Structure 1
Amino acid sequence: MNAITQDRSDTLAPFGTRLDGVTDPVRKAATGALHRSGLPDRRVEEWRYTSLRFLAETPLAAPADVYDVAQIQAQLEELGLTDGPLADLPRLVFVNGRYAEAFSVLPAELDVSFFAKTQTFGPLSCPDRDPLTALNTALAADGAQVRVPAGKKGGDVLLVSLGQTDASVSFHPRHSMTLEDGADLTLISIQAGRGRYLHNPVLEVSVGAEANLRHITLQTEGKEAACLATTYAQVAERGTYNSFVLGLGGVLSRQEIHARLAAPFATVHVNGAQMLGGRQIGDVTSVITHAAPDCISRQTVRNVLDGHARGVFQGKVYVDRVAQKTDGYQMNQALLLSENAEIDAKPELEIYADDVKCSHGATVGALDDDQLFYLRSRGVPEAEARQILIHAFLDEALGLIEDDVARTVCTQMLARSFPVAGENA
Structure 2
Amino acid sequence: MTVLAEHNALTEAGAAGFLQRFEGLRGRLPGRDLPWLASLRDRAAEAFRAQGFPTRRVEAWKYTDLGPLTQSGFGEPLTPVDSTIELPRAAAPRRVVFVDGRFSAELSDPDAPVKSLALHLREVEGLLGSVARIDDLPLVALNTALFEDGALIDLAEGEDGGVVELLSVVRADRPVALHPRHLVRLAPGSKLVLIERAIGQGESRYLHSPVLEFQVAADAHVTHARIQQEGRAGIHLSTVFAEVAEKGTYDSFLLHAGAKLARAEAHVKLAGAFSAAHLNGAQLVGDGQHADCTTFLDHAAPDCPSRQTVKTVLAGRSRGVFQGKIHVHQIAQRTDGYQMNQALLLSEQAEMDAKPQLEIYADDVKCSHGATIGALDENQLFYLRSRGIPEATARSMLIEAFLQEAVESVADEAARAALAEAVAGWWERMAA
Q: TM-score normalised to the size of structure 2? A: 0.91
What does the per-residue CA deviation read over 1:3-38, in whole Å, with 9 as the maximum and x for residues that have no partner?
xx9987523134362122648111111111111110
Q: Tell me the SS of whatever aligns to 1:20.
A: helix
Match of 1:154, as an amino acid?
G
Query: Does structure 1 residue 379 correspond to structure 2 residue 379?
Result: no
Residue number in structure 2 paired with 1:194: 201
Residue number in structure 2 paired with 1:182: 189
**For the Cα contact (< 8 Å) 2:270–2:277, is it kept in 1?**
yes
**Mapping of 1:19-418 within 5 angstroms?**
19-20=22-23, 22=26, 24-70=38-84, 72=85, 74=86, 76=87, 79-81=88-90, 86=92, 89-107=93-111, 110=113, 112-118=115-121, 120=124, 121-195=128-202, 196-415=205-424, 418=426
Q: CA deviation at 1:66?
A: 2.3
Q: CA deviation at 1:117?
A: 3.9
Match of 2:59, as an amino acid?
E
Q: Which runs of 5+ in 2 are unaligned?
A: 1-7, 27-31, 33-37
Q: Which runs of 5+ in 1 are unaligned?
A: none
What does the per-residue CA deviation read over 1:331-382, in whole Å, with 9 as the maximum and x for residues that have no partner?
0000000000111100000000110000000000000111112222222222
Q: CA deviation at 1:111?
A: 6.5
Q: Judging changes above 3 Å, is the alpha-carbon distance between structure 1 residues 194 and 8 closer, same or farther for their aligned structure 2 residues?
A: closer
Q: CA deviation at 1:115?
A: 3.2
Q: CA deviation at 1:401?
A: 1.3
Distance of 2:324 and 2:418 partners within structure 1:
26
Residue number in structure 2 paired with 1:17: 20
Distance of 1:157 and 1:402 partners within structure 2:
15
**For the Cα contact (< 8 Å) 1:14–1:58, is it kept in 2?**
no
**For the Cα contact (< 8 Å) 1:177–1:206, is it kept in 2?**
yes
**Aligned residues with identical type, % of pairs:** 48
Q: Tell me the SS of whatever aligns to 2:223.
A: strand
**For the Cα contact (< 8 Å) 1:267–1:297, is it kept in 2?**
yes
Match of 2:210, as an amino acid?
P
Distance of 1:97 and 1:422 partners within structure 2:
28
**For the Cα contact (< 8 Å) 1:144–1:176, is it kept in 2?**
yes
Distance of 1:64 and 1:343 partners within structure 2:
37
**For the Cα contact (< 8 Å) 2:115–2:152, is it kept in 1?**
yes
Distance of 1:62 and 1:112 partners within structure 2:
23
**For the Cα contact (< 8 Å) 2:96–2:114, is it kept in 1?**
no
What does the per-residue CA deviation read over 1:133-189, in whole Å, with 9 as the maximum and x for residues that have no partner?
011011000011101111111110111111013110101001011110000110000
**For the Cα contact (< 8 Å) 2:11–2:69, is it kept in 1?**
no
Q: CA deviation at 1:251?
A: 0.4
Q: Tell me the SS of whatever aligns to 2:109.
A: coil
**For the Cα contact (< 8 Å) 2:19–2:49, is it kept in 1?**
no
Q: Tell me the SS of whatever aligns to 2:399.
A: helix
Q: How many residues align?
A: 408
**For the Cα contact (< 8 Å) 1:387–1:421, is it kept in 2?**
no
Match of 1:281, as an amino acid?
H
Residue number in structure 1 paired with 2:431: 423
Match of 1:128, as an amino acid?
D
Q: Tell me the SS of whatever aligns to 1:36.
A: helix
Q: Judging changes above 3 Å, is the alpha-carbon distance between structure 1 residues 410 and 157 closer, same or farther for their aligned structure 2 residues?
A: same
Q: Tell me the SS of whatever aligns to 2:41.
A: helix
What does the per-residue CA deviation read over 1:361-407, in whole Å, with 9 as the maximum and x for residues that have no partner?
00000001111122222222222211111110011111011111121
Match of 1:349, as an amino acid?
L
Q: CA deviation at 1:63?
A: 1.1
Distance of 1:246 and 1:141 partners within structure 2:
26
Q: Tell me the SS of whatever aligns to 1:145.
A: strand
Match of 1:100, as an amino acid?
S
Match of 2:21, as an amino acid?
R
Please report the RMSD computed on the Cα atoms of aligned residues, expressed in angstroms.
1.9
Distance of 2:222 and 2:118 partners within structure 1:
21
